[in-house]
Amino acid sequence: MSNCFPNSIMGHLLLYCVVIFLLEAESVHAKITQIPRQLIIEKGQEVKMRCEQDSQVTQMFWYQQKPESKEKGLVLVVYSVGKDNTENGDDPQGFKSQRPETNIFILSKSSAEPRNSGMYFCSSD
């Protein structure tokens, strides 16, 4: 089998393809910031968590991982498919959500309960 390109040219073509792929992959992912990063509250206190993304991705999600079920994965609490649009997930637990801007998704509850304990994660797609 003959080689169409000399080794030096083939090496440059491969490098070029890899660089293009990495640049494309980088541009797809949004940077997510959760505010506050840590929140410890007592039963009955107000809960408010804010998620911000640096892109105009339309779908955003809030997930919970309960302390006793780390092996079971994440539970979808609420989600949004665009500005001013929010929906309950599999286990909303009395949380309310707001999507005032495309890049902001807020999760809140006026009075925390023990069942709300866990780690919360925001994501976008």
Domain ranges of the chain: 31-124
Q: Kindly state the helix (H) or strand (E) to which residue 99 belongs, with its residue range.
A: strand 96-101
Per-residue model confidence (pLDDT) at position 70: 60
Q: Does domain 31-124 have CATH number 2.60.40.10?
A: yes
Mean pLDDT score across all residues of the chain:
82
Least-confidence region, from 21-35, 37-51, 54-68, 101-115: 21-35
Question: Where on the phi/psi map is residue 77: left (φ > 0), alpha (ψ -120 to 50), or beta?
Answer: alpha
- pLDDT at position 93 is 94
Residue 40 has which token pair?
Answer: 């410890």
Give the number of other Cβ atoms within 10 Å of residue 86's Cβ. 22
